[in-house]
Amino acid sequence: MKIVCIGSGNVATHMAIALKEVGAEIIQVYSRNHQNAEILAALTRAKAISRWEDLNRQADCYLIAVKDEVIASVAAQLIGLKGLVVHTSGATSLSSLSLLGKGYGVLYPLQTFSRTKAVDLKKVPLCIEGDSPESLERISAIAHLISPLVSEVDSAQRTILHVAAVFACNFSNHLYHLSAEILAAHQLEFDLLKPLIMETAKKIQNSNPADVQTGPAIRNDVDTMKKHLSLLQDKPALQEIYTLLSNSIKNT
């Protein structure tokens, strides 16, 4: 299995390394920025390229892991190749690759990647989609090299997954940030809350979140909620979030 990795960011890095580890050959890493291509190429024993005319046109698979807004323009460089072309974006539809005619699809890893933190891709759900049953089968084979958690998810469902992930993860992280700010304003360490944050995320691995909801709102503990709002009186933005989310908890 010969793969060309297009992109050198977090997703490209984690995917290329995982594919290399399971025996795929990363033959080239493309990045507009040659230095970035060199870094990932060195990690995967690939050749770094930064000009489309240097593209190896004999690969089995071209993995596009670039910013959403440049996926279509990358695809335009890949017309006429025999190899499978897949993008890795949660927010981009399959049709962004339709200019390729056939032999394309999506391989979306549902995880957040940081450059400096290893992620075990074997535990990451991979959402796949293909332009045809044949493409889907080829993408499925590549996906299963990386993780057993492979699900067929179409473009409409992938968009829904993305919104749901914004709620569950982007917004949760922001709430961690707000709570750290509240603590810092009162000379309290955010470390105090870290075990509770871990436990909250652990709890829902085996329970329905609705069944393990705790706190003043679910108890309709009006006195505590009033007290909390008065503590936030110099922070109207936090009061607004507190009120809206408490009401949402009460209404569900």
Chain residues 126-145 in contact with a second copy, contact rule CB under 8 A: 127
Q: Which is nearer to a second copy, 56 or 159 (CB)?
A: 159
From 15-23, 77-85, 138-146, 182-190, span contacting a second copy (CB under 8 A): 182-190
With binding defined as CB under 8 A, does residue 169 bind a second copy? yes
Residue 73 phi, psi (nearest 5): -70, -30
Q: Which of residues 63-122 bind a second copy (CB under 8 A)?
A: 68, 91, 110-112, 114, 117, 119
Residue 182's Cβ-side half-sphere holds a number of Cα atoms within 13 Å equal to: 20
Shortest Cβ 90–a second copy spacing (Å)? 10
With binding defined as CB under 8 A, does residue 39 bind a second copy? no
Binding mask 202-231 for a second copy (x = CB under 8 A): xxxx-xxxx-xxxxxxx--x--x--xx--x
With binding defined as CB under 8 A, does residue 170 bind a second copy? yes
Q: Which is nearer to a second copy, 101 or 209 (CB)?
A: 209
The residue from 2, 25, 56, 125 that contacts a second copy (CB under 8 A) is 125
With binding defined as CB under 8 A, does residue 53 bind a second copy? no
Q: Which is nearer to a second copy, 70 or 201 (CB)?
A: 201
The residue from 174, 220, 222, 226 that contacts a second copy (CB under 8 A) is 174
113: tokens are 């990647």
